[in-house]
Amino acid sequence: MTIRGARALEEELLFLSKTERPRLRMAMEEAGEDEGDHDSAKEAECSAAEEELDFVEARIRDLKAKLTDSVVVDITAVTNAGKV
């Protein structure tokens, strides 16, 4: 993986971990606070947030695995021998 590719994955991981995951958890908590209402709209919001959170958590795991298992190559340091 290139340095630029690794940086892009790290930025996405940071965004999902620090912004999206907390936002979705808060949305689920807010929807869950009104449990006594049994409002179908609130239940739908909570369900949608939970589904999106599951996707975000899976993506976070995937990004961590890719970053852990990859080898970062500085393509500017690779000599061009005319072969691929």
Per-residue 3-state assignment (H helix, E strand, C coil) for the chain: CEHHHHHHHHHHHHHHHHHHHHHHHHHHHHHHHCHHHCCHHHHHHHHHHHHHHHHHHHHHHHHHHHHHHCCCECHHHCCCCCCC
Structural contact between residues 71 and 1, judged by C-beta atoms closer than 8 angstroms: yes
Higher pLDDT, 39 or 6: 6
Give residue 30's pLDDT.
Answer: 82
User: Domains in the chain, ordered, with CATH?
Assistant: 3-69 (1.10.287.180)
Give residue 14's pLDDT.
Answer: 98
Give residue 38's pLDDT.
Answer: 63
Residue 32 half-sphere exposure toward CB, CA atoms < 13 A? 10
pLDDT in tens, 10-69: 999 999 999 999 999 998 888 776 655 567 777 788 888 899 999 999 999 999 999 999
